[in-house]
Amino acid sequence: MSFVDIILKKKEGLPLTDEEIRMFAMGAATGSVPDYQLSALLMAICFQGMDARETTTLTMEMMKSGDQMDLSGIDGVCVDKHSTGGVGDTTTLVLVPLVAACGGHVAKLSGRGLGHTGGTLDKLESVPGCRVDLSEEQFIEQVRKIGCAVSGQTQNLCPADKALYAIRDVTGTVGCSPLIASSIISKKLASGAGAIVLDVKTGNGALMPTVEESVQLAKAMVDIGRKAGKPVYALVTGMDQPLGTHVGNALEVKEAIEILSGRATGDLLEISLDLGSFMLVACGQVSTVEEGKKRMREAIESGAGLRKLEEMLKAQGATADVCRDVTLLPQAPVLVPVPATRDGYIVSMDTKAIGYCTQHMGAGRAKSTDRIDPAVGLVMQVRLGDHVRTGDTLCMLHLRDASQAEPAIRAMQEAVCIGDEAPEKRPLVSAFVSAEETVYTKGYGPK
């Protein structure tokens, strides 16, 4: 069968065989199938979908397309966490050291920011000297020795996914549930994770804007994990405003340090505790999420979480003691407030627009080859439901050059909507999904 036949078959909405999916994955990994044919099949999948068997097969074939990491030399269950992407989403830098400080082993492979979302590797590289290009041997040894490591994936880990993701990013085929699920879980399985906790975002700043779509994606990934013999838990969490108050690479590192120091609270802390508690359950350190949250709060109060972050940064080459002095992080020379244009309540935020605003300031990338400025970004001064008066500061811009101020001010004033009545407060977590059940927060669920 030719690859054109496979494209036509999926175009008609017919399921692909395991052998056809294998040809798709290996063609992407080896370059034997041209990009234009891969693009055509990706678009057909976006329109026609994939059933559970097809999605699982694609995941396993992408996993087997390259190297697979062996973490068996590390005692206990290595747990990994993945977010589907958001703005001000700094949970990795908070919960990885916290989980490790509570006795867990966290082997975390992360990515870079692209578009409106930030990337953990870029955030870590804003710490002077910090390396994110650990070899497989260095990565495993660091997890074995100190309990945690965060690094980029090796060159030959899931090459099929690398090739397909690059095409999806430029062909409008990113927001497709089976393609997202197979991309995420293939990398996690190839990285050797013994258990996986997923943060599936929902809202206007997420890949999946509705709770229903986000739960569907979560179920797909949990089901693939079950079939692969790995425990996978997923939380569906809100992205209708930046999760943390700081958006931008060094700024987000600073906020993570403030949280681990016990000097800051808020949504970022709460979601980190939620995710981290499931990670501790998954790796067998605690029996309940309540116990996990208690242990993590104690790690913050005792300073153990911050010390573990410091230990991890130093193990990865950091030369500056940023955990004790955040002014050692890169700092933007120009600070400009964004004023509210009227009295009222913060009724909504265009989270994606906020992410793109910081990208245009230099904190993110429009394409993978763009360079980023680690110092720039913004710090939100308001949350949904807050009351403001004309002239109050909505956020503080951290700029490299004053000439960037006017367009950024306009963009943020358009992104933060002020109305006459306070909006209904929504819970941070909309649903929990495991292999056994899906539990919705009150107010959500099938209609």
- The catalytic residue positions are 82, 161, 168, 183, 187
**Contact between 355 and 248 (Cβ < 8 Å):** no
- Structure token digits, residue 307: 């010390």
Burial class (CB in 10 A: 0-12, 13-18, 19+), 251: buried
Nearest to 374 by CA among 366, 365, 382: 365
First to last CA, the chain: 43
Q: In sequence order, what are the residues at sequence separation of 6 or more whose Cβ sits closer than 8 angstroms to the Cβ of residue 145?
A: 315
- Neighbouring residues of 277: CB distance < 8 A, sequence distance ≥ 6: 286, 289, 290, 291, 292, 293, 296
CA–CA separation, 13 and 106 (whole Å): 40
CB 106 within 8 A of CB 81: yes
Q: In what side-by-side order are the strands of the sheet with 105-110?
A: 148-152, 105-110, 78-83, 195-202, 232-238, 429-433, 438-440
Q: For residue 162, what are the contacts with CB-CB under 8 A and spacing of at least 6?
A: none
CA 117 to chain CA centroid, Å, is: 8
Residue 277 tokens read as 């508690």
Which residue is associated with the tokens 């393609």?
179
Residue 363 makes CB contacts below 8 A (sequence gap 6+) with 113, 118, 247, 248, 249, 372, 373, 376, 377
Q: Which among 85, 137, 158 is positioned nearest to 116, based on CA atoms?
A: 85
3-state secondary structure of 420: coil
